[in-house]
Structure 1
Amino acid sequence: MTDKRKPVRVWCDGCYDMVHFGHANSLRQAKALGDYLVVGVHTDEEITKHKGPPVFTEQERYKMVRGIKWVDQVVEGAPYVTTLETLNKYDCDFCVHGDDITMTADGIDTYHLVKAAGRYKEVQRTAGVSTTDLVGRMLLMTRGHFKQGDSEYSIDREPSANMGQDRSARSPWTGCSKFLPTTQKIIQFSDGKSAQPSDKIVYVAGAFDLFHVGHLDFLEVAKKEGDYLIVGLHTDPAVNRYKFGNHPIMNLHERVLSVLACKYVNEVVIGAPYEVTKDLMEHFNVSIVCHGQTSIMPCENGADPYAEPKRQNKFKLLNSGNDMTTEKIVERIILHRLEYENRNLKKEKKELDAYEAFTRSRKSQLLE
């Protein structure tokens, strides 16, 4: 007997600014509640009005959400307040959001309409990461320890005047991640499919820090070089050696999940060696090793990390046409530092006020 059950269509929406594994995990959980996942992404204008300036443009954010493996459809310019009309327009049965607080500039719950109609479901937010947290990590770089010795970025060693004091030591976005990686989480993010004997295997390696549109476009063109794409992620000390300063901004385990969530990636090597050796290529049966347009730092002994694949005539430089880098993202934050500091402080205060109001309401209910 054939299954004639109507597919369950799920709606998610948000800013999806600086898309990270927390966003991906929320979308993974949402997709598990149905069959087809529709994701609405807000415009820059809406985000600026209700939350503060986004780090990425709306076009960049649309592309990043489309790159997440669990997303079936992206709706551009979704309204900030989720309405029943929106759910009905896209034939979605219900809306899904994390268990954190999302409000308009006026302090109104953006999901109050769908909650009242019983068309709202909640999934667990990923602890230890948020866009606010990641912006905060980059803001700490402006305290004089990003690219040390480079006067262009060595700014504001003292607390900024409008903040009164340097809050970084006790702020929840200090950059000390609370994320606790588990094997279960990696399994949930992995597609679990091994390469087939006939597959042409492509290998790329790097930091893939603050996973962004530049990474996404590069991985898309890399995947086209074969059938099965393996991404080698360098350890935190290795990344720090060739990027210096406070890099990486995200630790190895965070970077693993961010890359695994990408629909072009089949497998990740956690803590891959910096040098692509003959043993590594044989172990994964690599057909071709690719690298983007970023400069290649020699190994600690001065050797070319891609000497072996070049010797085997299995090395290819790729040009994705996108020159976005992690450093450029940090520059965006630094250039608009005060705006993002104020954004983070406002968001923290608004959420704290809402949480205290919720706590008071619960206490009064219990006393009745």
Structure 2
Amino acid sequence: MDYESNSWIWEGVYYYPHLFGGLMVTAALLGLSTSYFGVIGVPSLPLPCSWYNLGKKKKTGKRRVRVYMDGCFDLMHYGHANALRQAKALGDELVVGLVSDEEIVANKGPPVLSMDERLALVSGLKWVDEVITDAPYAITETFLNRLFHEYNIDYVIHGDDPCLLPDGTDAYAAAKKAGRYKQIKRTEGVSSTDIVGRIMSSLKEQKICEDRNGTDVKPQEECQSKVSHISQFLPTSRRIVQFSNGKGPGPNARIVYIDGAFDLFHAGHVQMLKRARELGDFLLVGIHSDETVSENRGNHYPIMHLHERSLSVLASRYVDEVIIGAPLEITKDMVCPRFCIICISFKLLAIVIGVLTCTHHSFFSIYFTLFFITTNFSRVLK
């Protein structure tokens, strides 16, 4: 009787090992977790149901979107900068393809600037993360695959203006076919062709006036008037904000000031601004007015409008802020915080003066040759 009354004990001894073994096998198949209870070292059995993880956000790093935009970028201007700004807004990292000199000659004619000059200009923009040199003018399927696999490009970007090859086909047909093409709006009012036209017009008018100086024609009446090649482009406050860093100097920032015309922004300007920025923590750039430039360089200058020049400088990765229409001479008002808001924000530590020289063989060969710092403001204040 005793044996029969305790039979459930013996049955348990028989079945429990099987039950325990089954649980262990199940746990092994599903996998053990140590994070369910929130304590390391406490094993738990994760639920196999997919709905269990719906409310849980995976802590995986989001892949950065890389976009690609190519171009000749000859005679770099604010339109180029705005295009690259828009392209960068479509991704996290912007890779720029710089078309080779040979490709430009074959498709558009000889470039004005060399590859090295164009590379300095493009890489000096604040929105550019990487540059691919000697890129092809047309994006073929072979180059497109290289972009996707070697450079991890997600999308190819171009403006809404047509880009046709000499045979009339679309240069971006392969990217569009692959479904990896995105389009941005072209900046109206400026182009490299337009700038070349302004330069030629300025040189022609200058030559005519120089020739008339030796004749009976009164050059003062016909040559002193402001020339008409200057663009009437006026930026909106929104465009200026888009180009701006949006940050002022810190409380203990070393602020460096440099000014100039910065007409036809070129590689020499980039190098100058880079070296100026290395001297402090915040670079403030003064852009001379059109009237100031004309008075000092001649009635046929500047080629670029004040606001065009300001945007070109503001697009530089080395520039933190600009003063549009800055005076030629540094005044006490610009340094002393008693007179204007600008000077309250910009307490200058150093004034950097660049000496520019122009070589005879190239209209664009203006190079920065010398830097010096003066902390004796009495030498420059008027």
TM bucket, shorter chain? 0.7 to 0.9
| Structure 2 residue matching 1:233: 3-state secondary structure | strand
Give 1:290's match in structure 2, choosing from 352, 358, 364: 352
> What number of residue pairs does the alignment pair up?
281
Would you say 1:33 and 2:90 are equivalent positions? yes
Would you say 1:51 and 2:113 are equivalent positions? no
Q: Distance in 2 between matches of 1:54 and 1:131?
A: 10
The change in CA–CA distance for 1:146 and 1:264 in structure 2 (over 3 A counts) is farther
Q: Distance in 2 between matches of 1:94 and 1:132?
A: 28
Equivalence for 2:261: 207
Would you say 1:281 and 2:329 are equivalent positions? no
Equivalence for 2:172: 111
Q: Distance in 2 between matches of 1:36 and 1:209?
A: 29
Would you say 1:191 and 2:256 are equivalent positions? no
Q: Distance in 2 between matches of 1:110 and 1:178?
A: 32
Q: How far off is 1:175 after superposition?
A: 3.7
Q: Distance in 2 between matches of 1:109 and 1:29?
A: 22
Equivalence for 1:85: 145
Q: How far off is 1:125 after superposition?
A: 0.6
Q: How far off is 1:148 after superposition?
A: 3.7
Give 1:221's match in structure 2, choosing from 272, 275, 283: 275
Q: Distance in 1 between matches of 2:208 and 2:118?
A: 27
Q: Distance in 2 between matches of 1:194 and 1:122?
A: 33
AA in 2 matched with 1:25:
N
Structure 2, unmatched stretches of 5+, are: 1-56, 213-227, 337-342, 358-373
Q: How far off is 1:141 after superposition?
A: 2.1
Structure 1, unmatched stretches of 5+, are: 152-173, 296-308, 316-368
Q: Distance in 1 between matches of 2:211 and 2:114?
A: 28
> What is the correspondence of 1:55-204 to structure 2 with a 5 Å cutoff?
55-83=112-140, 84-88=144-148, 89-145=150-206, 148-149=209-210, 175=229, 177=231, 179-204=233-258
The change in CA–CA distance for 1:87 and 1:314 in structure 2 (over 3 A counts) is farther
CA deviations 1:224-283 (Å, max 9, x no partner) are 111100000011000111110311111011011100000000000011111101220221
1:202–1:230: 8 Å Cα contact kept in structure 2? yes
Q: How far off is 1:143 after superposition?
A: 2.4
Q: How far off is 1:100 after superposition?
A: 1.2
Larger radius of gyration: 2
Equivalence for 1:312: 377
Q: How far off is 1:5 after superposition?
A: 1.7
Give 1:239's match in structure 2, choosing from 256, 277, 293: 293
Q: Distance in 2 between matches of 1:22 and 1:130?
A: 7
Equivalence for 2:217: none
**Does 94-103 or 39-48 show the bigger shift?**
94-103
Equivalence for 2:318: 264
CA deviations 1:37-90 (Å, max 9, x no partner) are 000001111101100110100111111100000000000001111132242131
Q: Distance in 2 between matches of 1:7 and 1:19?
A: 28
AA in 1 matched with 2:108:
K
Q: How far off is 1:122 after superposition?
A: 0.7
2:69–2:158: 8 Å Cα contact kept in structure 1? yes
| Structure 2 residue matching 1:26: 3-state secondary structure | helix
The change in CA–CA distance for 1:267 and 1:3 in structure 2 (over 3 A counts) is farther
AA in 1 matched with 2:145:
E
Structure 1 stretches of 4+ with a deviation exceeding 4 A read: none
TM-score (structure 1 length as normaliser): 0.72
Q: How far off is 1:119 after superposition?
A: 1.1
Q: How far off is 1:314 after superposition?
A: 8.3
2:230–2:303: 8 Å Cα contact kept in structure 1? no
AA in 2 matched with 1:290:
V
> What is the correspondence of 1:332-351 to structure 2 with a 5 Å cutoff?
none
The change in CA–CA distance for 1:246 and 1:146 in structure 2 (over 3 A counts) is farther
AA in 1 matched with 2:155:
F
1:211–1:255: 8 Å Cα contact kept in structure 2? yes
Q: Distance in 2 between matches of 1:235 and 1:123?
A: 31
The change in CA–CA distance for 1:91 and 1:178 in structure 2 (over 3 A counts) is farther
Q: Distance in 1 between matches of 2:247 and 2:90?
A: 22
AA in 2 matched with 1:312:
F
**Does 32-41 or 88-97 show the bigger shift?**
88-97
TM-score (structure 2 length as normaliser): 0.70
Equivalence for 2:48: none
Structure having greater relative contact order (Cα 8 Å, sep ≥ 6): 1
The change in CA–CA distance for 1:294 and 1:176 in structure 2 (over 3 A counts) is closer
AA in 2 matched with 1:292:
G
Equivalence for 1:249: 303
Equivalence for 1:301: none
Percent identical: 49
2:285–2:321: 8 Å Cα contact kept in structure 1? yes
